[in-house]
Chains A and B, each alone.
Chain A
């Protein structure tokens, strides 16, 4: 796949190496450093720039991503995911079937979450600055599974809910972007919300994150029928407060 892309495109000399996957933009170390700094500042300045959060994740994930990939490799279900490379998008999901599943099942609750919060799995950005094709898939999987995290944690997509999920993800993945998001996200919350966050939600998110097995090792697409509660127990996520 990587070879085909190179032959099809006539590039001028690329900085930092060849293109390894569609959408890949090779970058030099200096460019990555500048991108990391710039995207961090921009993400704080304009929280609606989700693309900047994505770029930050890619440029700072050089330690966390290989770590995650190895966790997946050494787990039977995670290994299968790496092999089969499933993608979560509206075109691959049978929405009507999922909607028809019993209440409380993963599929039903996931669709409910998408509809209640008016979000779609297709808005996730494709990776650009990750210089390894497999790691690019890992970060892609992490992004696509994010909505399922919301479902499993029972958190909505408002600022508060997102911060809680970020805390959970920070503990689970170790991605610097999650850590930064978890630490800086709360600055835009009211004091009342901050209190709830600090006293109840964050401790629960951290406990769950530490207790749970790696969330990327769950083949969600094969577990739509499984009740959310049972999946939570299996992974090790404590019931939400």
Chain B
């Protein structure tokens, strides 16, 4: 799996856009909206490689923070200029409101691409990059408010271990969110989806990335992955409560959610 991602890292984003016709962006937006993070949230994004989730998180928290500040300013209409100025200064220093995201990935190349993207897009504060294995996270217990893994859990050899680790590093009250390819039950959609997956995606892989085999692997690994209910049960086994899932695009993709109490 490591070698697959080494060759895939640089063209990852281009391939994602081509394969999903850009829809993966919508899926990731929906994930963040479902998360609805408030400023001050500490997020761990596992297998977060090129930073898509992390950047969206920062954008969301920033806009929530801005709204907060605007409301506060309106509220301050009666104060003296001096007082308004002081409070504005202290708020401005953390446009993210102390929110932070740690991006953890097992692959150095993916992290490298993510860091470059962050620099290019102007993301600097509230962001850190850590090399680590989802099955054995380099973090202490009870640290994070939210744990996400977007299109990454499929590539983990021991999913149960990754789920246990997720449970361990989350604070009590913390939320687990997983965005992943899942099972399509509708037979018509399923046939079309299979046709597209097996006929078109490896070709895209060969033409865009010069790599048929990695994308053939990708398509096959999606089919081997546990369907919605099975994954739900696995998440419950790790100790999470109120586990639920939401299908996107007929189940091509699903968001699973659970809480640590």
Contacts and interface: CB of A to CB of B under 8 A. Distances in A.
A212 interface: no
Contact of A51 (B198, B199, B210): B210
Interface in A26-50: 28, 30-31, 34-35, 38-39, 41-42, 49
A34 B210 contact: no
A128 B203 contact: no
Nearest to B223: A12
A73 to B, nearest CB: 31
> Which of B198, B204, B210 has the most A CB atoms < 10 Å from its CB?
B210
Nearest to A40: B207
B207 A39 contact: yes
A25 interface: yes
Contact of B203 (A12, A38, A49): A38
Contacts of A49: 210
Contact of A34 (B199, B208, B213, B220): B199
Contacts of B213: 25
A77 interface: no
Contacts of A51: 210
A180 B222 CA distance: 37
B200 to A, nearest CB: 6
Nearest to A49: B210
B55 to A, nearest CB: 28
Interface string B204-248: 101110101100000010000000000000000000000000000
Interface string B164-206: 0000000000000000000000000000000000111011101
Contacts of A52: 207
Nearest to A15: B198
Given A12-B220, A28-B199, A31-B199, A38 B212 contact: no
A55 interface: yes
A39 B205 CA distance: 11
A128 B202 CA distance: 13
A38 B200 CA distance: 10
Nearest to A30: B199
Interface string A3-29: 000000000100100000000010010
A30 to B, nearest CB: 5
Contact of A38 (B198, B207, B220): B207
A25 B210 contact: no
Contact of A42 (B200, B202, B207, B220): B207
Nearest to B210: A51
Given A25-B212, A128-B212, A35 B206 contact: yes
Nearest to B207: A38
A31 B207 contact: no
Given A15-B198, A55-B206, 13 more contacts: A15-B199, A28-B199, A31-B202, A34-B199, A35-B206, A35-B207, A38-B203, A38-B206, A39-B207, A41-B207, A42-B207, A55-B207, A128-B212
